[in-house]
Copies of this chain bind each other. A is one copy, B any other.
């Protein structure tokens, strides 16, 4: 069944900015949002909402909550890691300052919760969202502390840091529809996050090695593989995670799984492009 094409990603962009309410910190947050990004979490929410026949208000609510939280985590993460650029422009903390970056992230977290005011099962949505923020925060600190890791550690670290906010848009949509599948969506989030991180790792291997950050390619090189072989095994690891995600997605009700499969397809293409470029 082909997905209904939804035209409201531009509505999501608009509502995210409205939720920031104006003022100097909102200006900084908008600078970050204007830098673009894949909006993968917003698209996940809209795809899932479409499969579940949610109305546009509920769909936008799920999309804005997840996308604002993700972008808040990027703003704070860039400051924590002292990453000077984001999407080819100065990161928010470099364009403004550290204090503004902290406040802008705070504002985006708050705006994400405010967007849930339009969610039909607000009480449950609040709890799901808080759990995702808590897990992301813990994952972010564990990740910042980790310097070496086994492959099992890698899956755990990455799944804990990136999984919750990848699963959240679909979990919020399922919750809005009163549909089952919440646990499966959480599992899929963890699997997709591995593919996401491997993509990052493949492009950042030199920087991560220099900074002593966990990187799956460095991990495989450390166990004796050549650089090209390490990259190949890493891609295989990502592809296998994507396949598991697809298999799990088939078990979701109302073709909601298509939302995750669309993202898996995009990540697969990106992995293949990187392999071709190598």
Which A residues have a C-beta under 8 Å from some C-beta of B?
Answer: 19-21, 23-26, 72, 76, 79-80, 98-100, 102-107, 109-111, 113-114, 116-117, 122-123, 126-127, 129-131, 133-135, 137-138, 140-142, 144
Contacts and interface: CB of A to CB of B under 8 A. Distances in A.
Contact of A111 (B100, B114, B116, B130): B130
A268 B25 CA distance: 34
B133 A110 contact: yes
A106 to B, nearest CB: 5
B102 A114 contact: no
Interface centre among A122, A138, A141, A144 (most CB of B within 10 A): A141
A114 B127 contact: yes
A130 B72 CA distance: 15
A20 B134 contact: yes
12 contacts: A20-B134, A24-B141, A25-B141, A80-B102, A99-B140, A102-B102, A106-B106, A106-B133, A106-B137, A107-B133, A110-B130, A113-B129
A99 B144 contact: yes
Given A80-B98, A103-B76, A123-B122, A24 B138 contact: yes
Contacts of A116: 126
Main secondary structure of the interface of A (DSSP, over half): helix
A96 B56 CA distance: 43
Interface centre among A98, A130, A140 (most CB of B within 10 A): A130
Given A109-B110, A126-B114, A130-B111, A138 B23 contact: yes
A239 to B, nearest CB: 31
Contacts of A26: 134, 138
**3 tightest CB-CB pairs across the interface, nearest first?**
A114-B130, A23-B138, A110-B133
A134 B80 contact: no
A57 B131 CA distance: 21
Nearest to A143: B99
A91 to B, nearest CB: 14
A107 B131 CA distance: 10
A79 B102 contact: yes
Contact of A141 (B20, B99, B110, B138): B99
Contact of A106 (B25, B104, B105): B105
A131 B99 contact: no
